[in-house]
Chain A
Amino acid sequence: MDSKDRSSTSLDHPLSRRQLLVGFLSAYTASLIPWAWAQEVPNEGQAAFMALSAIIAGRQTLNPELAKRIYEALDRSEQDFAARTQQLVALIEEQKIDPLQLQAILDKQYPQLAPIPRKLATAWFLGVVEVDGQAQAIAYEEALNAVFVADVLKPPSYCYGAYGSWAEPPIPNPNTQSEV
């Protein structure tokens, strides 16, 4: 992993010639992932994985080490993971599928692709992947559900602060959104 590149997603693959992620994407998908212009990836399979990760996670800067762990775990446990992910990204591009509609459309019309976003979302949001039929925790503090609320909450089992600090009002970061 290039230590200078820690603020954005990239996968370690020294033998591949890197290209910008945006080069693998259509205009629609690229519009969901603004940082694709600055992101290098080694091949089409991993480009699709990162594009889909970005779509599911929602325009976030993604943790590169966690991205690597998730990719490796899913690539090992899911048959034809790279190919199916590419198919899925192509489908999203072709049909301009809104992330909020994605799972419902796949469940109904593309059952062979339906497990992919579910597993990817479980990995990113919860830090859990299933390998060889066994669920494994690959992230906790870095799972996105912890990251999304880190301005206010600590992951359970981590000390909140000095005794009594929880009696003070919570002060969310004003740059975050909590409204629906």
Chain B
Amino acid sequence: MAENLSADFVVIGSGICGALAAYKLARAGASVIMLEAGPRVTRAQLLANFRNSPRRSDWMSPYPFSPWAPHPVYKPKDNGYLVQAGPYPYPAEYIRVVGGTTWHWAAHTWRYLPNDMRMQSLYGVGVDWPCTYDELDPFYQEAEEIMGVAGSAEEHPESPRSKPFPLEPVAEPWAMRRLRERLQPEYPVVGNTVARNSRTFGGRPACCGSNNCQPICPVDAQYHGGLAVDAAEAAGVRLIPNAVVYRLEHDERDRIVAAHYFDPDKQSYRVTGKTFIVAANGIESPKLLLLSTSERFPNGIANSRDMVGRHLMDHPSTSLTFDADEEVWLGRGPQSPSSINTLRDGPFRAEFSAYRLDFTNISRVDSTTQRLLLDGVYGPEFEKRLRYSAAREMNVKTVLEVLPRPENRITLSDRKDALGIPQPQVHYAIDAYTRGGAQDAKKHFTRIAELMGGTNLRFTPDDAFANNQHICGTLSMGNDPNTSVCDRYGRAHDHENLFFIGTGVLPTAGTCNSTLAAVAVGFWTVAHILEEQAGVPSGKRAATGAGAGT
């Protein structure tokens, strides 16, 4: 090993959270090395992968995993990376590439509700956050301004804001307009808040309605982690891709002194720094901490109280598919534009899960084709049925809250990946609280279908919950070290110079996608670090330190 890599900050993970934190630190004058397990990718290649895929309905197919940095893949068969310990399957998906999983997202950028952060005080379930909504407001705003969040403050009084949305709302697809018109006044259908350009912004064009937000926006009308990495590198961050961090090293004062990584050939490197930030996603971050055992920390870094990886949460979904009595033609415009927000809060949260009702605008052409092929429908009937479903089929789904429970957790399995690193294992259950929300939603599903003149109602089975890949809670912040992993600023309770940024730190899941909250809390963490180090960083210098060039 010829190198001695060193920087003021070592950021592990180059997803949207890690990259934007690295960007902020570099802009403040610090030297930053960002380590990413996966390779660089480009939008053009991902788009070509999608169009050339024989399995276009599998949105992970444009994102093949690297042998040295596997991520979970379930089709055409499970690659076995995320080991399921049960009792309920948790088929999480995430992407280990430079820029991370937001290459592939619907760009929902919701703020939590203030009450989502006071669940224990208000409803006697879950936990309270160690910080308040008002404290986070400016950091939410900063994140929204970087990401170019579009929305209407009037439509979203549930998450108060002190400044306007940076962008006006994205044009409403016709199908969503018809839902809004036909469901009012019983259900107010509102536009989602999204990191999607409603005009040219950040050097990127407005949305052109290609209905391909997932798996890849063809024109970068959405903000994503790849753009965050570009900004970070332009600000002076040194990115090292294909660097699989497998151990954090501490000194006798319990400070982290180095991150060790393997390259794809299993050559090992040691990166030193003054402050370490783990931002490697809600599963890979706890995995790394659990891997980093020592005599003093036999259960892993930041895990003296066995809290790392616990309180795993996501947003399970149930849904109803039906055929409307008019032609609405899903598939024109962005994929996920509108929701009903009125069931996201209320006294019932003491008893069962709140939920957001989410309407899809994803084209039904591919899914209908698959179904008709399976049914052996040939001849003129195929075209007639395809057009019928493409024009009339609609879907509404729940986005249900999961409570933070210690038994839902990420651990290490006894399986190892190609580099010999233990693979993550998940223990997960969907409890009565969440199931109660799903049951409650059924009457609303039915009523929504009625209002749309719906026929051919197809409810998902009671025990079939789809997953939304909003992996959070596994590095929860909190005031009590016995029930959390880090403090209100994301600092590990056990290690003075170790911070966590990402969805893992969020102590409750609420009923909204977790990315914006994670970025905002990450900015709150960075602001705290910079304030605390006031005067530091010690002038900008080359991130390569003594040993240049890998």
A contact residues vs B (CB 8 Å cutoff): 32, 55-60, 98-100, 102-104, 107, 117-118, 121-122, 125-126, 128, 134-137, 140, 144-146, 148-149, 152-154, 156-170, 172, 176-180
Contact = CB atoms under 8 A, between A and B. Distances in A.
Interface in B343-400: 363, 365-366, 368-370, 372-373, 376-388, 390-391
Contact of B209 (A58, A104, A161, A169): A161
A171 to B, nearest CB: 10
A153 B388 CA distance: 13
B206 A126 contact: no
A168 B385 CA distance: 24
Nearest to A126: B369
Contacts of B363: 153, 156
A179 B209 CA distance: 26
B274 to A, nearest CB: 44
Given A55-B378, A137-B56, 11 more contacts: A134-B54, A135-B54, A153-B365, A153-B390, A156-B212, A157-B47, A158-B218, A160-B332, A167-B172, A167-B173, A172-B387
A121 B381 CA distance: 13
29 contacts: A56-B378, A56-B382, A57-B382, A59-B379, A100-B377, A103-B378, A117-B376, A121-B378, A126-B373, A137-B51, A145-B368, A145-B386, A148-B382, A148-B387, A152-B391, A153-B329, A157-B50, A157-B212, A159-B208, A159-B209, A159-B218, A163-B199, A166-B171, A166-B174, A166-B333, A167-B171, A167-B172, A170-B328, A179-B388
A156 B333 CA distance: 10
A141 to B, nearest CB: 9
Given A58-B379, A166-B332, A172 B327 contact: yes
B117 to A, nearest CB: 35
B460 interface: no
Contact of B384 (A57, A107, A177): A177
Given A99-B378, A148-B383, A157 B218 contact: yes
B332 A149 contact: no
A164 B365 contact: no
B177 interface: yes
Interface of B: 47, 50-56, 171-174, 177, 198-199, 206-212, 216, 218-219, 327-329, 331-333, 363, 365-366, 368-370, 372-373, 376-388, 390-391
Given A102-B378, A152-B329, A178 B373 contact: no
A134 to B, nearest CB: 8
A17 B239 CA distance: 64
Given A160-B211, A165-B209, A178 B327 contact: yes
Given A56-B378, A145-B386, A163 B331 contact: no
A146 to B, nearest CB: 7
- Counting chain B CB atoms within 10 Å of each CB, the highest count among A126, A134, A136, A166 belongs to A166
Contacts of A178: 327, 384, 387-388, 391
A166 B51 contact: no
Contact of A125 (B173, B333, B382): B382
A149 B373 CA distance: 17
Contact of A157 (B54, B210, B372, B383): B210
Given A170-B327, A180-B388, A145 B366 contact: yes
A104 B376 contact: yes
Given A125-B373, A145-B366, A58 B171 contact: no
Nearest to A170: B329
A21 to B, nearest CB: 18
A148 B385 contact: no
A40 B199 CA distance: 52
A160 B333 contact: yes
Contacts, number: 168
* Chain B, interface SS category: loop
Contacts of B56: 137, 140, 156
Contacts of B369: 125-126, 145
Given A104-B376, A145-B369, A169 B384 contact: no
A180 B378 contact: no
Contacts of B55: 135
Contact of A118 (B376, B381, B390): B376
Contact of A58 (B173, B366, B383): B383
Given A102-B376, A160-B209, A167-B172, A176 B177 contact: no
- Counting chain A CB atoms within 10 Å of each CB, the highest count among B216, B380, B382 belongs to B382
Nearest to B177: A167
Contact of B381 (A100, A122, A154, A163): A100
A160 to B, nearest CB: 3
A121 B373 contact: yes
B329 A157 contact: no
A156 B210 contact: yes
A56 B382 CA distance: 9
Contacts of A98: 379
B165 to A, nearest CB: 17
Nearest to A54: B379
A7 B197 CA distance: 41
Contacts of A126: 369-370, 373
A22 B329 CA distance: 38
B373 A159 contact: no
Contacts of B174: 166-170
Given A161-B209, A163-B207, A166-B332, A122 B373 contact: yes
A117 B378 CA distance: 9
Given A99-B379, A102-B378, A163 B391 contact: no
- Counting chain A CB atoms within 10 Å of each CB, the highest count among B177, B209, B327 belongs to B209
Contacts of B171: 163-164, 166-167
10 A-B pairs closest in CB distance: A103-B376, A99-B379, A160-B209, A166-B333, A135-B54, A164-B171, A159-B208, A58-B380, A166-B332, A178-B387
Contacts of B177: 167
A103 B375 CA distance: 8
A172 B198 CA distance: 26
A154 B333 CA distance: 10
A176 B210 CA distance: 23
B209 A166 contact: yes
A140 B55 CA distance: 11
B219 A159 contact: yes
B327 A153 contact: no
A149 B211 contact: no
